[in-house]
Amino acid sequence: MKTEAGKAELVESIQALQQKLEELEGAIAPIIPQDWLTTDLTMPQLKVMLILWREGPARMSELASGLGVTLATATGVVDRLVEKDYIVREGLPGDRRVVICRLSEEGQDFMKALWMSGRMQIGRILGVMTPEQIKIVAQGTEVFIQAARKLQSASNGKRTPESPAS
């Protein structure tokens, strides 16, 4: 069992790390990839794209739940993405009431481009580090991966906003 002093030290360490993460966000914000800033998607549209990118084809009701909005609101968001040729809507064979949404080829290309621009930016940041610093980042990243997997296991593999897919 942890002592009160141990708990206080843990809380203090977590708060210090959260402060460092805020500093990291501040340092990264000015160098966010330009294509992230110039996308013609609204935040709800981007969220739908991310859900479909991460989870694969989904029912309209699943998208509405993922966005935390009504089915009517999610339908409007999807309508605009269909107009942009980023999403394809399909009926479920045997049950025309069910609508499945998936990324179109253009939607997949768009998401790949966003993903790759982020990876390139990380590469640029890593490129100015020493080999020793990169090793430290790799070790810290591995610890984060392990912790995230613990959270995912604790939720029985169910993906929630608190335990994203790996």
Pick the range with the lowest mean pLDDT from 55-64, 107-116, 156-165: 156-165
Residue type present at position 131: P
Mean pLDDT along residues 13-37: 85
Cα separation, 103 vs 100, in Å, equals 10
Mean pLDDT along residues 134-158: 88
CA dihedral of 84, 88, 91, 92, whole degrees rounded to 10 = -150
Q: 116: pLDDT confidence band, cut at 50, 70 and 90?
A: very high
Overall CATH class of domain 40-128 = mainly alpha
pLDDT score for 160: 46
pLDDT score for 58: 96
Cα separation, 113 vs 47, in Å, equals 16
Cα separation, 151 vs 160, in Å, equals 10
Q: 164: pLDDT confidence band, cut at 50, 70 and 90?
A: very low
Q: Which one is predicted more confidently, 32 or 68?
A: 68
Please report, for the chain, the start and end positions of each structural domain, with discontinuous segments joined by +.
1-31, 40-128, 129-166
Angle at 20 between CA 17 and CA 23, to 5 degrees: 155
pLDDT score for 156: 67
SS3 per residue for the chain: CCCHHHHHHHHHHHHHHHHHHHHHHHHHHHHCCHHHHCCCCCHHHHHHHHHHHHHCCEEHHHHHHHHCCCHHHHHHHHHHHHHCCCEEEEEECCEEEEEEEEECHHHHHHHHHHHHHHHHHHHHHHHCCCHHHHHHHHHHHHHHHHHHHHHHHHCCCCCECCECCC
Task: Answer whether 0.85 is exceeded by the pTM.
Answer: no
